[in-house]
Amino acid sequence: MRIENGRISQVGTRAQIDALTESDDLIIDAGGGLVMPGFVDAHTHPVFAGNRAAEFEQRTQGVTYGEIAASGGGIRSTVRATRVADEEELTVASQRYVAWFHAGGTTTIEAKSGYGLTLDDELKLLRVIGRMQDVRTVPTFLGAHEIPDEYRGRASAYTALVMEEMLPAVARERLAEFCDVFAEPGVFSIEDSRRILSAARSLGFGLRMHADQLSDSGAAALAAELNAATADHLEHTSSQGIRALDAANVQPVLLPGSVYALGSSRYPKAREMIEAGLAIVLATDFNPGSSPTASMPMILSLACTQMQMTPAEAITAATINAAHSLGRAAEIGSLEPGKSADFVIYDARDYREIPYFFGAPLTQAVYLEGRLVWVAQGLAGLDDKSRRGADRTARR
């Protein structure tokens, strides 16, 4: 592979690339290791204060996620902590998580707001996403993530706030490309979700949805009706819902990390969706409650062992399919001439080793636009070498 100005200019055999190499080119030797496109994680919630390790412990003792949420914990406890944190603190926290994404081979994240739930706090979270370094971010406004404490029992008043104040402000400041809604009975009804997403579409946002995570409420059908880019979760979606997504070209984003971390065994029906012809996306759903992992290799392992996807299907879902769901298939998601040089070197010989050796630290070096952004401990020497002339040539 040859890289010029952060872009892939040529892909070929070593002999073909050697023939193009000039004397001042920098050569990155992968040492026979596996080189793959950086993962595109198309569903993450990376900006929040604190964590919920205490709730995790409660859940090990049999308290359910729903019971914790009903008693004021869950998303609302993260909202309370995040509201009092300033932009600087949140930037430091989220940058720590960027290193975790890198360690799993991820170079692009779709990043949602949703732990502010006031106009000012949602804008604060979106600004933090804009400040994240060394990772490509695609920002999504998720003001409709939960009904905040001060609006309990007044979901339609909060829906009006999202539609009338938050969405126009986010659009005006160009802080997000997509709008997402947590559609679930008792949180945002199908009717409120339709109103919010329709308003977002008229302001130019692309649409994504948290759909049918806890029940089959018809959210997948709504995503189809609105021609959303994605419907995410889908643990409870019926065969009818799957057919609706297919007919409307809505991509399913499957999040097995949240099923696993909640101790459930109800994984979405990936095989049925693949057989229906849908271009499945896999993502981490990184968040402090239901899916505290930034590791795409862990997600690939779950996809293979719990959802009967092949390693090739899983990697496709976490790269090019995910890039397409974000409107960036021409830019990232595969190693082809013209695309950004976002790639990862692994201590592996075969792509199947990535989901197979689950939990193993196989990632060696991560490059974004041809620039080294992360390197495994013990390989720090790579850093100096690449700083000299970052983006000229890489070859296997």
Q: Which residues bind Zn ion (CB under 5 A)?
A: 285
Q: Which is nearer to Zn ion, 49 or 348 (CB)?
A: 49
3-class secondary structure per residue, 348-379: CCCCCHHHHCCCCCCEEEEEECCEEEEECCCC
Encoded tokens for 325: 């769901």
Q: DSSP string of 320-357?
A: HHHHHHTT-TTTSSS--TTSB--EEEES-SSTTHHHHS
Closer to Zn ion by CB, 146 or 342: give it. Answer: 146
What is the Cα–Cα distance from 55 to 77, expressed in whole angstroms?
A: 10
- Shortest gap between Cβ of 114 and Zn ion (angstroms)? 8
Neighbours of 67 (CB within 10 A): 13
CB 286, min distance to Zn ion, A: 9
Q: Which residue is nearest to Zn ion (CB)?
A: 285
Residue of 253, 252, 256, 255 lying closest to 243 (CA atoms): 252
Residue 200 C-beta: closest distance to Zn ion, Å: 17
Ranges assigned E (strand) in 31-164: 34-37, 39-44, 106-112, 136-144
In this complex, which beta carbon is closest to Zn ion, that of residue 55 or of residue 285? 285
CB of 347 to Zn ion, least distance (A): 31
CB of 215 to Zn ion, least distance (A): 16
Taking the complex as a whole, the smallest distance from the CB of residue 353 to Zn ion amounts, in Å, to 28
Closest to Zn ion by CB, 285 or 347 = 285
Is the Cβ of residue 177 or residue 285 nearer to Zn ion in the bound state? 285
Longest Cα–Cα distance of the chain, Å, equals 69
Cβ closest to Zn ion, residue 36 vs residue 253: 253
Give the span between the Cα atoms of 199 and 206, in whole angstroms. Answer: 11
